[in-house]
Each structure stands twice: as structure tokens, then as C-alpha cells.
Structure 1
Amino acid sequence: MRSSRIPDLWRFVLITLAAVLCAAIAASLGFWQLGRAAQKQALFDAIARQQAQAPWHNAQLAAKLPMVTEPIGAGQAQELLHRPAQLQGQWLAEQTVFLDNRQMQGRVGFYVLTPLRLAAPYEHVVIIVQRGWVPRNFMERTALPEVRTPDGTVSIAGRLESPPSKLLELEAAGDGGADPDGQKSRILQNADIAQWAHRSGLPLLGLSLVQTEGTAGDGLLRDWPQINAGVQKHYGYAAQWFGLGILVVLLYVWFQLVRRFYLRPRAAGAAAQPR
């Protein structure tokens, strides 16, 4: 009798350890997802506070934003990125480039980038402006869309951001991106500000400006993606992990405790009673 209970005891111990381990892993993963949600929410709140700051003008931009040849530290980036800016300057239209394969509102087209030389006395400073998006001509791939670029001094508003994210280049090029028509056109796959500054000789700043207002009638779409904390996804994953842990505990309690120590003895006692 004793020897027959030893395997049963070991089975109970192993199942108990497995249940505890599974529940602990599920709980730890659930708390990890909650931690990720808290991190993303804190980052989103920091960006929102930065966007709510008073906008910089030419003087602050020239004084605080480093040139592209100077490295930007992590602490400095927190102060600069997403900051609103209202600038006055002159478009360098001949330096406009079109970034290929960029989407907006579900359509594929170009991001239009044009350098803006700040108005005097800061004309020694030039910043790349992500002006907006235009559709491309799919019948003639190398055709450039018409973008109205006014002469003289213009006033624009936007926010300071990193250059547009880089896409995979199927063909290397030494001028900052792939050249689709092989003729050194203004259609590029990517734009590198450092290479742009070296190629053009312009005194470019290390960040770009995503334009949100100004230059009415230029035909550009500016429905830029909105920053989203994305915490709901992590809350959903956390709920799934916690739910799995609770399920493991409930199954263990039912099959290993309730049925083993309560229902089974009662059934055995009922069967042993004389009728």
C-alpha cells in the first residue's frame, strides 16, 4: 500500500511544481507587459509635453540646434526633438529632393524636402524641411511632380524631428540615396543630411523640420502620422498572460486539490457505506 502511494505522491509534487512554475512565468510576463506599457506611456507624455512648449524662432534655433557635423547627445535630443518652431527664411528650391516610396493616407508618393535658409541675421544657418507629400506619376516613373515653391521670405511652422526614416536601398549611391533613373535625378530613396551638406556645401543643421503650417497652395499633403503611445496592446497582452496564470491555478485547484482531497474521499466513503 505504501509503495503504491509513492508514485502518486511524486506525481502530485511534480504537477504542483509545474503549476507553480507556469503560473509564475505567466505572472512575470504579465507584469513585464505592464512595465512596457508604463515606459511607452512615459515616453508619450514626454513627447506631448515637448510639443506643448512655446515654439522656437530663428534666434533660438540658430543658438540651440547643432550643425550636422556636431554629434547630438541623448540628453540634448530630448530637449530638441518634437519641439515646435516658427521660422522665417527663404526656400532653396534648386536643392529640393523627392524621397521615393513614401506613403500618406494609404497612397504611395514622394516626401518633398527643401532646405530653408533662415532670414537675416541668421542666413548662415540652413535647415532641411520635410514640406509634405505628393503623389507620383506611375505612368512616367522619373517625372517630378510640380510643387509650388514661393520666392522671397516665407514663414512656416512645424516641429523639429530626425530626418525621414531610411528605406532599404537596392542600389547604393554616393550622393545620399538610390537614384531610380540612373541620371542623378532629384528622386532619392533616402536622404542623409551629412552627405547632403557635404555634397551641396550648405551649412545644414543636424535635425529637420516637419512642416505643419505655411506655404498655402503648394499642393502638398501634410497628414503626418500622429504619435501614439500604443499602450493598449501591452495591456491586452498583460491580460492574456494574467488570464493564463489564473487558468493554471484554477485547473490545479480543481483537479489536484478539490477532486483529490474532497470529491474522491467523499465518493469512496459513500461507496463503502452499507446499503
Structure 2
Amino acid sequence: MTDKPLHWKRWIVLALTAVGVAITFSLGLWQLGRASEKTALQDARTAQSRKEMLDGRTLKGSSEDVLQRSELLYRRMVVTGRWLPNYTVYLDNRQMNAKPGFFVLTPLQIDGSGEVLVVQRGWAQRSFTDRTALPPVQTAEGLVQVQGHLAPWPSRLYDFGGAETGPIRQNLDLTAYRQETGLKVLEVTLLQSGESSEGLLREWPVVASGVEKHHGYAFQWFGLSGLIALLYVWFQIVQPRRQKRPV
């Protein structure tokens, strides 16, 4: 009768060990899956950027063409049009070469189609003495030709809520910007490339895929899974057998 409780305790320990090993091992596999997904996404972006350059007039503004525009993301593109400088926005707290400043965004009305495409023109350093001062940025008049990569709408940084107005903003909401300007702005942008000009730098940071992070997490989960199994073997099999050996 005295061995029966111990018998059930061993089964409980075995069950908990199996669950722990299964969960941690599956989490490791999930992290490897996430790494594979991000690797595939990065490869797709690289393949897109190597394709032939497109003419910006191919961008159609109808809602039915949203899918087509999404399929063109990261493609090289040359766009001819006219700047609309009155609607320029300076996204605050953006960094380039580890320095704080603004990403300068100006809508461009595409020649020949009339569609409006926001161009992420580059980065400008902010004033350290006057946070409301705008950096000196030159904007050409008349027809201009801009080259770059088609990119998603700018990512959001943390904000404190509420609608933002004025040229300096933390984020740029697409719906609010359309209502504010009255322009039919496309939901994609052009990340302008080329040498520094017009008071702007264009040394855009390479987007990290984060694959190394997922591999690190996977290693940790697999290591924990192995540790759980090892502890079970040591305390439930090896140690009891060593204790039963005759002295």
C-alpha cells in the first residue's frame, strides 16, 4: 500500500514532463516557422526591387486597384509630376545615422493621371533649440521626376492619441490626411532614392528581417525542452537507480 501513492506521483510527474517538453518544443518550431516566413518576405522584397523600373503613371487610383498596387510594393519606380508643398508633413522622432530628426513627406500629383502619391523625400535634422522650427527644405516648382521604391504607408510610432494637425507630427493617418487635404491620396508611398539634395539625406536604413531574433528564441525553447527532459531522466530514472545500488 505504501508504494501506490509513489506510483501515481511518478505518472503525474511523467505527464507534466511530457506536456512541458511538448509545449516548449512546439514553441521552438513556431519560432523557426516565423523565421522562415520573414526570410521568404525579405527574399520577395529583394526580388521585387531587382525588377525593371516602372512608370508612375501605371498607378491607378480606383479602389479596385488596391490589390494591384500592393503587388507592386518595393518595385523601383520613376514618377513625373508636380509637388504639392502646402501639404508637406514632417514626421518627428525619426532617425538617420543615429541622429534624431524628421522624415519629410510631400504629396506629388502624378502627371498624366492626376493621382496623388505621397513621397518620403528624405531626412532632415531638427533644431535642438526650437522644436517648432522647420528644417530648410527646397521644393522645386513645375514638373519634376522622382525615382524610388514603392513602399507602404509610413509606420506608426507611439502617440498619445488625438488628431494631429500642423506640419510637424508624430504619425500621419491616411484617412485623416485625405479628409484634411481633400486629395485622393494613394495608400502607398514612394521612398525616394538618390544622393542627398534639397536639404535632405536619403541614407534609408535597411529593414531588418528579425530572423536572428527568432532563431535565438527557438534555441532557447529547444534548450528548455531538452532541459526538462534531462531533469526528468536524472531525478526519476538515474537517481532512484543509484539509490537502489548496494553499498
TM bucket, shorter chain: 0.7 to 0.9
What are the residue-to-residue correspondences of 1:1-275 with 2, within 5 Å? Answer: 3-61=1-59, 65-67=60-62, 70=63, 73=66, 75-76=67-68, 78-119=70-111, 122=112, 124-170=114-160, 172-173=162-163, 177-179=164-166, 186-213=167-194, 217-261=197-241, 263-265=242-244, 267-268=245-246, 271=247
2:200 maps to a residue whose letter is L
Q: Which has the larger radius of gyration?
A: 1
**Shift, 1:113, TM fit:** 1.4
Instruction: Tell me, in whole angstroms, the C-alpha distance in 1 between the residues paired with 2:12 and 2:185.
Output: 66
CA–CA separation in structure 1 for the residues paired with 2:18 and 2:97: 49
Whole-Å separation in 2 of the counterparts to 1:58 and 1:77: 11
Q: Give how far 1:190 is off.
A: 3.1
CA contact (8 A) 2:121 2:192 kept: yes
Aligned partner letter, 2:130 = E
Taking the aligned partners of 1:22 and 1:169, their CA distance within structure 2 comes to: 39
Where do 5+ consecutive residues of structure 2 fail to align? Answer: none
3-state SS of paired residue (1:133): strand
Quote the offset at 1:260 in angstroms. 2.3
> What RMSD in Å do the two structures reach over aligned CA positions?
2.5
Q: Are 1:178 and 1:190, in contact at CA under 8 Å, matched by a contact in 2?
A: no
SS in 2 for 1:111: strand
SS in 1 for 2:193: strand
Which AA in structure 2 matches 1:93?
P
The match for 1:183 is none
Cα distance in 2 for residues equivalent to 1:56 and 1:137? 37
State the 1:13 CA deviation: 1.9
TM-score where L is the length of structure 1:
0.78
Deviation at 1:72, TM superposition (A): 6.3
Secondary structure at the aligned position of 2:94 is classed as: strand
Residues 232, 72 of structure 1: alpha-carbon distance in 2 compared, 3 angstrom cutoff? farther
Q: CA deviation at 1:71?
A: 6.8
Contact 2:69 2:188 in 1 (8 A): no
CA positional deviation for 1:192: 3.5
Deviations 1:31-84 (A, max 9, x none): 1111111222222222222222212113323xxx425xx3765x4454032222
What SS does the corresponding residue of 1:190 show, helix, strand or coil? Answer: coil
8 Å CA contact 2:61, 2:115 repeated in 1: no
Assess if the C-alpha contact under 8 Å between 1:156 and 1:213 holds in 2. no
- Describe the SS at the equivalent of 1:32: helix
How many residues are paired up?
247
Percent identity between matched residues is 41
Q: Which moved more, 1:163-172 or 1:41-50?
A: 163-172
Post-superposition offset of 1:92: 2.7
TM-score by length of 2: 0.86
**Whole-angstrom distance in 2 between the partners of 1:193 and 1:251:** 54
Deviations 1:233-258 (CA, angstroms, capped at 9, x unpaired): 11111111111111222222222222
Alpha-carbon distance between aligned partners in 2 of 1:194 and 1:11, rounded to the nearest angstrom: 61
CA distance in 2, matches of 1:189, 1:71: 30
**Cα–Cα, structure 1 residues 49 and 9, in superposed 2: closer, same or farther, change >3 Å?**
same
Take 2:105 and 2:168, find their aligned partners in 1: how far apart are those partners? 11
Mapped to 2, the partners of 1:222 and 1:190 lie a distance apart of: 19
2-side partners of 1:197 and 1:252: how far apart? 61
Give the conservation status (yes or no) of the 8 Å contact 1:90–1:116. yes
The 3 A distance-change label for structure 1 pair 15 and 171 is closer
